[in-house]
Amino acid sequence: MSRIAYVNGRYVPQAAAALNVEDRGTQFADGVYEVMAVVGGRLIDEVPHLDRLRRSLAEIEMRPSMAAGALRAILRETIARNRLVDGIVYLQINRGVAPRAHAFPAQDLAPSTVITVKHMGLPRDPDTVAGVAVITQPDIRWKRVDVKTVGLLANCMAKSRATEAGAYEAWLVDGDGDVTEGSSTNAWIVDRDGSVVTRPLGNDILPGITRASVLALARGHGFTVVERPFTVAEAKSAREAFLTGTTAFVKPIVRIDDAVIGNGHPGLATRALLGHYLDYVAGQGAAA
């Protein structure tokens, strides 16, 4: 079945979906986006995703393209038209169409809205999730990566370097030698004391929705959780390392650059957190 996209009020075959060539999202990356997991035909963490979307719009001084209720209805209709059971929904809102000029247009533009889906298998059993490798790369992104904009060229370059190196992800490193996050995921370690560690929120990392859910699950299941920076050296000597994201869920890391993490296999804490997260999303997917 060919996929159906929503573009500015119309449901069209994805192959025929298009935007005006002077859309500011195309010319200036002047837009924001969200990626939401779908399990059992239902959106996971819909409310926090849409809350983050509203924050991103406000931070770049863009008005919403429609009322929240209408957007939720369109998301569900797009899922239904694509018969999406497990996978992701991609939502992008651009500032709109105007003659090319760097400054925001004086007139109030009609924002462009695009929604697409992707069918994909999602993990079901922590014991079947293999560990992955990451490489480290300098963090060369702009200074407001807490805003989920479509300006992702630096992220794409880092991810490409990882792919070329046979790794799953690139961990980005700031000028102090601390890990900020991955090119498309949040970064975590389990330190020598057994604490689950991840960088605190700020302008230098994205406030990941999966990150927030895993933090709450970890605390709720008795893990010691610390939000603090950690260096590449500490990560390489940690008991465990893992990453989180909408499509990655909780993914064990078994190698950082040339350093083997722990015993080279997914760690007990990471597998436990993945199990708790899988239960969490399954519960939302099964909810009425």
User: How is residue 113 written in tokens?
Assistant: 């809205």
The per-residue pLDDT for 125 is 86
Total domain count for the chain? 2
Asked if 199 and 178 count as a contact pair (C-beta separation under 8 A), the reply is: yes
The per-residue pLDDT for 284 is 87
Specify whether 77 is located in the same domain as 139.
Answer: no
Cα(234)–Cα(256) distance, rounded to whole angstroms? 11
The enclosing domain of 99 has a CATH number of 3.30.470.10
Specify whether 136 is located in the same domain as 231.
Answer: yes
pLDDT in tens, 225-247: 999 999 999 999 999 999 999 99
pLDDT in tens, 23-77: 999 999 999 999 999 999 999 999 999 999 999 999 999 999 999 999 999 999 9
The enclosing domain of 245 has a CATH number of 3.20.10.10
Percent of the chain with pLDDT over 90: 94
Q: Which residue, 88, 119, 150, sits at the end of a domain?
A: 119
Question: Is 118 annotated in the active site?
Answer: no
Q: Which residue, 98, 119, 140, sits at the end of a domain?
A: 119
Cα(78)–Cα(75) distance, rounded to whole angstroms? 5
The per-residue pLDDT for 288 is 44
User: 1 versus 181: which is more confidently predicted?
Assistant: 181
Specify whether 184 is located in the same domain as 245.
Answer: yes
Kindly report whether the global pTM for this prediction surpasses the value 0.85. yes
The per-residue pLDDT for 87 is 96
The per-residue pLDDT for 242 is 98
Annotated active-site residue in 118, 143, 148, 159: 148
Specify whether 100 is located in the same domain as 207.
Answer: no
Cα distances from 181 to residues 7, 136, 202, 208, 281, in angstroms, run 32, 10, 12, 10, 23
Asked if 121 and 154 count as a contact pair (C-beta separation under 8 A), the reply is: no
Specify whether 160 is located in the same domain as 221.
Answer: yes
Task: Give me the mean pLDDT over the 185-192 stretch.
Answer: 98
Specify whether 141 is located in the same domain as 264.
Answer: yes
Specify whether 155 is located in the same domain as 282.
Answer: yes
In this structure, what are the phi and psi dihedrals at residue 125, rounded to the nearest 5 degrees? Answer: -135, 120
Q: Which residue, 119, 147, 175, sits at the end of a domain?
A: 119
Mean pLDDT, the chain, integer = 96
Cα(58)–Cα(61) distance, rounded to whole angstroms? 5
Which residue range is the domain that position 252 belongs to? 126-286
Specify whether 24 is located in the same domain as 60.
Answer: yes
Task: Give me the mean pLDDT over the 143-172 stretch.
Answer: 98
pLDDT in tens, 93-136: 999 999 999 999 988 899 999 999 999 988 888 888 999 999 99
Q: pLDDT band for 287, please (50, 70, 90 cuts).
A: low
Percent of the chain with pLDDT over 70: 98
Specify whether 179 is located in the same domain as 37.
Answer: no
Strand partners, 251: 243
Specify whether 113 is located in the same domain as 183.
Answer: no
Q: Are strands 42-43 and 112-119 parallel, antiparallel or unpaired?
A: unpaired
Specify whether 105 is located in the same domain as 34.
Answer: yes
Specify whether 95 is located in the same domain as 203.
Answer: no
